[in-house]
Amino acid sequence: MTQHDTTFPEHFLWGTATSAYQIEGSPLADGAGPSIWERFVHTPGLTIGGDTGDVACDHYRRWREDVRMMADLGLRAYRFSVAWARVLPEGRGTVNTKGLDFYSRLVDELLAHGITPLTTLFHWDLPAALDDRGGWLNPDIAHWFADYADVMFKALDGRVRHWATLNEPWVVTDGGYLHGALAPGHRSLYEAPIATHHLLRAHGAAVQRYRSVGKHQIGLVVNLEPKYAASDSAADQAATRRAHAYMNGQYLDPVFLGRYPEEMREIFGAAWPEWPAADHELIKQKLDFIGLNYYTRSVTRDAPEAWPVRAGRVIQPQATYTETSWEVFPQGLTDTLAWIRERYANPPVYITENGAAFYDPPVAENGRVADALRVDYLRKHIGAMHAAIAAGSDVRGYMAWSLLDNFEWSLGFAKRFGLVHINYATQQRTPKDSARYYSRVVASNGAAL
Cβ proximity to ligand AZF: between 155 and 328 the closer is 328
- Smallest separation, CB 353 to ligand AZF (Å): 5
CB of 54 to Ca ion, least distance (A): 5
Residue 150: CA atoms inside 13 Å, Cβ hemisphere, count? 15
Minimum CB separation of residue 181 from ligand AZF in Å reads 12
Considering the complex, state which of residue 268 and residue 294 has its C-beta at the smaller distance from ligand AZF: 294
Among 127, 227, 408, 432, binds ligand AZF (CB under 6 A): 408
- Write out the binding residues for ligand AZF, residues 104-133 only, by CB under 6 A: none
Residue 19 binds which of Ca ion, ligand AZF, none (CB < 5-8 A, kind-dependent): ligand AZF
Contacting residue, 16, 19, 250, 322, with ligand AZF by CB under 6 A = 19
Cis peptide before 402 (omega within 30 of 0): yes
Q: What angle do CA 313, 319, 325 make, to 5 degrees?
A: 50
User: How many residues interact with ligand AZF (rule CB under 6 A)?
Assistant: 9
Q: Are 209 and 150 in contact (CB under 8 A)?
A: yes
Nearer to Ca ion (CB atom), residue 19 or residue 196: 19
In the complex, residue closest to Ca ion by CB: 54
SS3 403: coil
- Please state the closest distance from residue 24 (CB atom) to Ca ion, in A: 12
Footprint on residues 352-381 left by ligand AZF (CB under 6 A):
353
Contact predicate 184/264, CB 8 Å: no
* Cα 253-118-414 angle, rounded to 5 deg: 85
Q: Where in 70-99 is the site for Ca ion (CB under 5 A)?
A: none
Cβ nearer to ligand AZF, comparing 22 with 47:
22
Beta bridge partners of 397: 13, 350
By CB under 6 A, the residues from 414 to 433 that bind ligand AZF are: 417
Which residues have a Cβ under 8 Å from the Cβ of 414 and sit 6 or more positions away? 48, 49, 51, 408
**Nearest CA among 33, 223, 221, 49 for reference residue 128:** 33
Q: What H or E segment, with its residue span, contains residue 290?
A: strand 289-293
Shortest separation between residue 351's beta carbon and ligand AZF, angstroms: 12
- Kindly state the smallest distance separating residue 21's Cβ from Ca ion, in Å: 11
293 binds, among Ca ion, ligand AZF, none (CB under 5 to 8 A by kind): ligand AZF
Site for ligand AZF in 318-357 (CB under 6 A): 353
Interaction residues for Ca ion, span 32-61 (CB under 5 A): 54
| CA 69 – CA 74 distance, rounded (Å) | 9
Burial (Cβ within 10 Å: 0-12, 13-18, ≥19) of residue 145: buried
Q: Give the shortest CB-382-to-ligand AZF separation in angstroms.
A: 18
- Compare residues 214 and 219 and give the one whose CB is closer to ligand AZF: 219
Identify whether the C-beta of residue 271 lies closer than 8 Å to the C-beta of residue 187.
Answer: no
First to last CA, the chain: 7
Residue 54 binds: one of ligand AZF, Ca ion, none (C-beta under 5 to 8 A by kind) = Ca ion
The nearer residue to ligand AZF, 256 or 417, going by C-beta atoms, is 417
CA–CA gap between residue 394 and residue 396 (Å, rounded): 6
30 makes contact with Ca ion (CB under 5 A): no
When the beta carbons of 171 and 239 are compared against ligand AZF, the nearer one is 171
By CB under 6 A, is residue 401 in contact with ligand AZF? yes
User: Which of ligand AZF, Ca ion, none lies near 353, with the C-beta cut-off 5 to 8 A by kind?
Assistant: ligand AZF
Give the torsion through C-alpha atoms of 354, 225, 408, 177, to 10 deg.
Answer: 150
Beta-bridge mates of residue 290 = 220, 349
Q: How far is the CB of 168 from ligand AZF (least distance, A)?
A: 6
Which of 111, 84, 112 shows the shortest CA–CA distance to 100? 84
DSSP β-ladder status, 227-229 and 395-401:
unpaired
Three-state DSSP state, 389: helix
Which residues does the annotation mark as catalytic? 168, 353
Work out whether 293 is an interface residue with ligand AZF (CB under 6 A).
yes
In the list Ca ion, ligand AZF, none, the entry touching 150 (Cβ below 5 to 8 angstroms by class) is: none
Note if the bond before 19 is cis, omega within 30 degrees: no
Give, as ranges, the residues between 332 and 351 that touch Ca ion (CB under 5 A).
none
CA angle 77, 412, 438 (to 5 degrees): 30
H/E run at residue 162: strand 162-167
Which H or E run contains 120? strand 116-122
| Of 24, 51, 168, 335, the one binding ligand AZF by CB under 6 A | 168
Q: Tell me which of ligand AZF, Ca ion, none is bound by residue 26, counting a contact when its beta carbon lies within the kind-specific cut-off of 5 to 8 angstroms.
A: none
What are the residues binding ligand AZF (CB under 6 A)? 19, 22, 168, 223, 293, 353, 401, 408, 417
What are the residues binding Ca ion (CB under 5 A)? 54
